[in-house]
Amino acid sequence: MHENKKISSIVDTGLADIEPVPLPVFPEKGIEADTLRLDRIHPVISGNKWFKLKYYLLDAAAGKSKTLISFGGAYSNHIVALACAAKQCGFESVGIIRGEASGRPSPTLQAAAGYGMQLRFMSRAEYREKTQWLHELSIKFPSSHIIPEGGAGEAGIKGSEEILALADQSKYSHIFCAMGTGTMCLGLARAASAQQYVHGICVLKGFQEFQDAARLRIHHDYHFGGYAKKTPELIHFMNQLHRQTGIPTDFVYTGKLFYAVADLAGRDYFPAGSRLLLIHSGGLQGNRSLPKGMLDF
Ligand SMILES: *Cc1c(COP(=O)(O)O)cnc(C)c1O
């Protein structure tokens, strides 16, 4: 069931094209910008979530675990990706969801349940008492493998180091990604070469402490009010980006990433001749929580 080959083949990383980002601000400032479309590698196990899950899946298989357990919110890209990956690799899965069960589960949780994930809801207060329920879970699911929220942790960083192998890395002076837990950023920074900087666009408000890494720059001014918050300006930008370039983005992560890079370029942040690579880390399913018609795509 869980041979390593099978696990590695559930997505097709060959589908991750590199495309130019033809926004007028880049040629105006004498710089080039490409995007690595990780959103294309799988319709559900999308973007960076595959890279962050890969070594957790392989470790679980090596340890003969039957059940994968992880955590997240009601709109979590990680939870739905894990549910789908678990099903494809032959694991059971359990999702611990922060917040009370509502009458109508989010589209994300409906999809996760559709892949066979058992969902357990926990109030925020209960959720904080992690040691208590982690112990109970380990009794209830004896051969389980616990994956940290968002796929954070060493295995997640290790998988993220493989992202840059999909691009001709020597071409780029600056690599940009959206940053939640920072796992992807750290992996990219480890894989970057000595002449490159990796930039993380932080999508959370007030996220300051961070494990230092050489060649990593974090930008804190593009969270638009906080995690999963949005403004009309962000939505307008995402619609305009799609009209001008054909590139779809999500409002939690990649919309803020593309906005930030275009804004920095407009403010002469980059010397002429810079070559930027934006990691399109997927997450488009998150847009299903927006009112219909807000986005043109
Ligand atoms: C989860 C996610 C991120 C954040 O990745 P981290 O490794 O937690 O920083 C970025 N983009 C998308 C689309 C995501 O789903």
Dist. CA 38–CA 281, nearest whole Å: 5
Backbone phi, psi, residue 35, to 5°: -125, 140
Q: What's the pLDDT tens digit per position in 210-258?
A: 666 778 999 999 999 999 999 999 999 999 999 999 999 999 999 999 9
| Ligand 1 atom with least separation from CA of 253 | 11
Dist. CA 201–CA 110, nearest whole Å: 29
Distance 281 CA to ligand 1 centre (A): 7
Q: What's the pLDDT tens digit per position in 136-166?
A: 988 999 999 999 999 999 999 999 999 999 9
Does residue 1 carry a pLDDT above 60? no
Which pLDDT does position 209 carry in this prediction? 66
Token pair, residue 122, equals: 């926990």
Token pair, residue 129, equals: 């008492």
Cα 134 to Cα 40, 59, 75, distances in angstroms = 34, 19, 22
Distance 179 CA to ligand 1 centre (A): 6
Distance 52 CA to ligand 1 centre (A): 9
Q: What's the pTM?
A: 0.96
Q: What's the pLDDT tens digit per position in 83-140?
A: 999 999 999 999 999 988 878 889 999 999 999 999 999 988 888 888 888 889 889 9
Which residues are near ligand 1 (CB < 6 Å)? 47-49, 77-78, 150, 178-185, 250, 253-254, 281-283
Which pLDDT does position 3 carry in this prediction? 67
Task: State percent of the chain over pLDDT 70.
Answer: 97
Token pair, residue 154, equals: 């060493």
Distance 246 CA to ligand 1 centre (A): 21
* Alpha helices (runs of H) in the chain, residue ranges in sequence order: 4-8, 25-28, 48-62, 77-89, 107-114, 124-128, 130-140, 154-160, 183-191, 232-245, 254-266
Q: What's the pLDDT tens digit per position in 180-217?
A: 999 999 999 999 999 899 999 999 997 766 666 778 99
SS3 58: helix
